[in-house]
Amino acid sequence: MAWTREQMAARAAQQIRDGFYVNLGIGIPTLVANALPPGMTVSFQSENGMLGIGPFPYEGEEDPDLINAGKQTVTEVPDTSYFSSSDSFAMIRGGHMDLSILGSMQVSEQGDIANWMVPGKMVKGMGGAMDLVAGAKEVIVLMEHVEKSGAPKLVTRCTLPLTGTHVTDFVITDLAVFEFTKRGGTLVLKELAPGVSLDEVRAKTEAKFDVGLAN
Amino acid sequence: MRKKVYADAASALDGVLADGMTIMAGGFGLCGIPENLIAGIRDAGVKNLTVVSNNCGVDDFGLGILLANGQIRKMISSYVGENKLFEKLYLGGELELEFNPQGTLAERIRAGGAGIAGFYTKTGYGTVIAEGKPTREFNGHHYVMETGLTADLSIIKAWKADKEGNLIYRKTARNFNPMMATAGKITIVEVEELVEIGELDPENIHTPGIYIDRIIVEQGAEKRIEKVTTRKREEVK
């Protein structure tokens, strides 16, 4: 059985250490905030200028001046701070964020990420993704293992425009967990979702990887 | 004596608008945008604008109304995914677009306002963003050169101002506003509350008045929320 989105988020949450400052991307990464083990002090950053993000507000208490990077209404926590976009990205680009967890369309066997553009199709923009992958101390990609069409997303070389090169540390999919030995290093399969076979992962992965499963 | 306070958007924009100019507009999504000033630019009808803003509003609100009115020739942004009209105009070749990574955009504006011509960043190295730009290696890491960015006019939004133009922003409505305040040849701020000089704590000014040329008090702002997300209140037992 492949992992659900919530289970993928919970697996990603296991990578978070007590005291971490973390930026979560839009989509499945957002779910990681709800999957933290209790008792940990973790601050979530939102690149539009907020450190220390609380839960969604109660109905009727939404504040148009208080949103996250996904433009959703959020709340403060007791240690929240606000700052400008340039301060926010100084935080990100200056290597102060412990961890960035984001989604992707493709990840290559060198750890390149492509997650912002499909030429001729989608015009959205990279937002803060290029800054996050270039600046965070650790980068985890959280994505489905294959496209809806069945095409692999872990590929030899990204065919879509890149977000960053040699920037990925971990890839967590609905089928498995992979780790790069170092930035730009070798991709290693570390863990399979319950009931998922190595053969299935091999069949659905284009990128070359070593097998380093724990017993 | 400095006279920075204007009655409304139309009078504050009088004499500063021209076809083909570059305008920076503060805000992140619809949060912290100068609604009255955007409407004022729409009413003035200036065309062929280059607009520097993180996003381009939504179809019928924020900068989206200038787009719908055919006034924007080029956008410099990091993310425009909330605007269907934008996608249509861009794919149809009617709109120029320069994507900047969000941190690069913020830093380009900060640098522009601070008189810094260019800087090196890791962001975008090895991607299309670096194409045609000088790159350089420092201590074994690769960097891309980016240039400072300025504008003919910056329109920004703050929470409070005194009559000197000292500004305080509120929560995440700060975003790009402080940098844009510094990077416009002329900067106009739209505020929710205007107070007398001396009423703001000098220790807590976010933007000093030197950057601000004109001030208006916002009238009838909608402050629309792009995505309302809430949680259920737990039952009191």
Q: How far is CA A86 from its chain centroid?
A: 22
Q: Pick the residue from chain B with its C-alpha nearest to A89.
A: B103
CB atoms within 10 A of CB B90: 17
* B147 phi, psi to nearest 5 deg: -105, 155
CB-CB neighbors (< 8 A) of A164 in chain B: 124-127
**Assigned domain for B209 exists:** yes
**Assigned domain for B223 exists:** no
Contact between B228 and A134 using a beta-carbon 8 Å cutoff: no
pLDDT number for residue A215: 64
Alpha helix (H) ranges present in chain A?
A: 5-13, 85-93, 129-135, 198-203
Q: Pick the residue from chain A with its C-alpha nearest to B90.
A: A123
Q: What is the CATH number of the domain that holds B84?
A: 3.40.1080.10
Residues in chain A, how many?
A: 215
**Assigned domain for B212 exists:** yes
Window B:55-84, CB contacts with A under 8 Å = 77-82
Window B:129-168, CB contacts with A under 8 Å = 129, 159
CA distances from A161 to A117, A208, B78, B121 (A): 6, 20, 15, 19
The Cα B3–Cα B64 span in angstroms is: 32
pLDDT number for residue B116: 98
The amino acid at residue A80 is T
**Assigned domain for B91 exists:** yes
pLDDT number for residue A47: 97
Most B-contacting residue of A50, A61, A131 (CB-CB within 10 A), to test interface: A131
Give pTM, 2 decimals: 0.96
CA distances from B35 to A29, B41, B150, B157, B158 (A): 32, 10, 21, 8, 11
Question: What domains does chain A contain, in order, with CATH numbers?
Answer: 5-211 (3.40.1080.10)
**Assigned domain for B135 exists:** no
Q: B227 — alpha (psi -120 to 50), left (phi > 0) or beta?
A: beta
Chains A, B: CB contacts under 8 A, how many?
185
DSSP per position, B38-100: HHHHHHHT--SEEEE-S---BTTBTTHHHHHTT-EEEEEES--TT-HHHHHHHHTTSSEEEE-
ipTM above 0.90, yes or no: yes
> Considering only CA atoms, which of B41, B91, B89, B37 is closest in space to residue B68?
B89
Contact between B28 and A49 using a beta-carbon 8 Å cutoff: yes
**Assigned domain for B130 exists:** no
Domain that holds residue B99: 9-116+150-217
Whether residue A147 lies in the annotated active site: no
CB-CB neighbors (< 8 A) of B224 in chain A: 64
pLDDT number for residue A5: 96
The separation between the first and the last C-alpha atoms of chain B, rounded to the nearest angstrom, is: 62
Token pair listed for B159: 């929470």
B101 vs A73, A86, A126: nearest CB: A126
Q: H/E element holding A113?
A: strand A113-114
pLDDT number for residue B82: 80
- Three-state SS at A22: strand
- Three-state SS at A127: coil
The Cα B82–Cα B64 span in angstroms is: 10
Asked whether A23 and A45 are in contact (CB, 8 A), the reply is yes
* B109 phi, psi to nearest 5 deg: -70, -45
Per-block average pLDDT, block size 10, for chain B (237 residues)? 94 98 98 98 98 95 96 96 86 92 98 98 97 97 98 98 98 98 98 98 98 98 95 74
**For residue A170, what are the contacts with CB-CB under 8 A and spacing of at least 6?**
A15, A138, A139, A140, A141, A177, A178, A179, A180
The Cα A168–Cα A186 span in angstroms is: 11
**Assigned domain for B164 exists:** yes
The separation between the first and the last C-alpha atoms of chain A, rounded to the nearest angstrom, is: 19
Tell me the shortest Cα–Cα distance from B66 to chain A, in angstroms: 19
> Considering only CA atoms, which of B192, B172, B136 is closest in space to residue A47?
B172
State the total domains in chain B: 1
Q: Pick the residue from chain A with its C-alpha nearest to B224.
A: A64
Pick out chain A residues at pLDDT < 50: none
CA distances from B230 to A56, B70, B82, B184, B225 (A): 5, 36, 20, 37, 12
CB-CB neighbors (< 8 A) of A47 in chain B: 102-103
* B119 phi, psi to nearest 5 deg: -155, 165
